[in-house]
Amino acid sequence: MSDSSATTHIPNVSTHRISQYKFQPSLSQDVRRQRALEFQKKRRLQQVDAARKLTEKLLKIDAEVDSVEFDVSANYQALVQPQSQYVDAMEITDPNLTIGSLQSGSNVTAQTVEHQLMVMLPEPLMEIPLDFTSGWLAMVFPQGERCLIISSRGKTISRRAHGQKIESFLSCLPGGSYATIQYWLHSKISEVDVGRRTKANQRCILPLQTKECTPDNLKLLVAQAELDSIAAGLFLINKQCMYAPGEKTPLFCAVAFPGRSCEMDEEAKSYAIFQAWLSS
């Protein structure tokens, strides 16, 4: 008599398919750089097209209905902001810092969430770019914590990369005005006295000097950094790189000097790659 309690094993027909799947190798940093430039170009065109549509919409509204109240800022953000980027915004930097955490009794504020996506983050340099000497800029960055500085209505606030407020202070930065980073740094910072401490400027704000990534320039930067205990590493920036708040991009890389304390320990291994190229 057969045992009615015995169970029959039915093999999983999908198990044998596992061996047919091959994991795609991770893309090289140089390939991702090319894709980042292509995506950046598309995003720039989308923003220009969005601004054009907004202008046409405003002109149409102004021509048809003079009494209509139209929120320019809100509609511009709706047109310019990519929907996918807006949806994934809370997942870019810190998964624990979300709108859901903004509850009574929480130390996380709405301002913290709003500003956590404003600092562009570097990748470790894993591969020397093909256009390194002609298409990239280098700057020495000091030891310390990277932060976001916001100046408005006569008050300047510094915030950590994840949005937490560090302090408020007075500075000579022109609050309430807007300009592109490149233009402002090279043309406007010389017009304001932010390089020394005064009653009106409680913190020194010094721009980082950039140099072309030629072997001679880089050797000079490294030699100067070895004599400067404050220097922590090099930032390497593609000339075509647009500022991407809250994102890590292969168009913005970091090389950390060995033995220097900095917040990006993972970049220290990039120094060997950088030195090998510099010595070749």
Q: Which residue has the tokens 């950046």?
A: 40
Task: Give pLDDT, residue 245.
Answer: 78
Task: Tell which residue, 125, 277, 122, 276, has the closest CA to residue 208.
Answer: 122
- C-alpha 93, offset from chain centre: 10
Query: If residue 169 lies in a helix (H) or strand (E), which one and from where to where?
Result: strand 165-169
pLDDT for position 263? 52
Q: Determine the pLDDT at residue 57.
A: 55
CA 150, chain centre distance (Å) = 16
Identify the bridge partners of residue 212 per DSSP, sorted by sequence position.
Answer: 137
CATH 3.30.470.30 placement within the chain: 121-279
Per-residue pLDDT tens for 89-130?
Answer: 222 333 344 434 434 444 556 666 666 777 888 899 999 999
- pLDDT lower than 50: segments of the chain: 1-2, 4-5, 7, 10-24, 58, 61-63, 65-106, 178-181, 183
Strand 248-256, strand 121-124: pairing: parallel
User: Domain spanning 121-279: which CATH class is it, in words?
Assistant: alpha beta
Tell me the C-alpha distance between 232 and 213, whole Å: 18
pLDDT at 44: 73
Residue 159: strand pairing partners? 148, 165
